[in-house]
Amino acid sequence: MYELRERARGVGAIGAQDVVRLMNQGALLLDVRSAEDFAAGHIRGARSVPAEQLTGIVDSLKRYKDKPVIVYCEQGDSASGAMRELSQLGFGQVANLRGGLRAWRAEQLPVARD
């Protein structure tokens, strides 16, 4: 069971360097953690959309349906669910930051604070 969950989690997951590349090409970055966690530290340029509010704001994201959308959380678990949800809603290029913000920090990439 553990192995299946880990495999499913890796589907659509990309590394931090790929996220940087896509960000430079104009990808939308969604932080699905709580607003408090977002304020404590997030990837610069990310939009705060707590996972439980995702379906409520989908209409405002429609212009990104055919563009790269990257979701992340602290470790990757919540973002995997958000990635699947966006894919089911018709977003064609959705990816999850593998390892979440924790992996981003481990690669010593910059984190912004509000």
> What is the set of active-site residues?
73
User: Residue 16: which of 114, 112, 99 has the closest Cα?
Assistant: 99
Contact 113, 41 (CB under 8 A): yes
Give me the sheet containing 47-48, strands edge to edge: 13-14, 93-97, 68-72, 28-31, 47-48
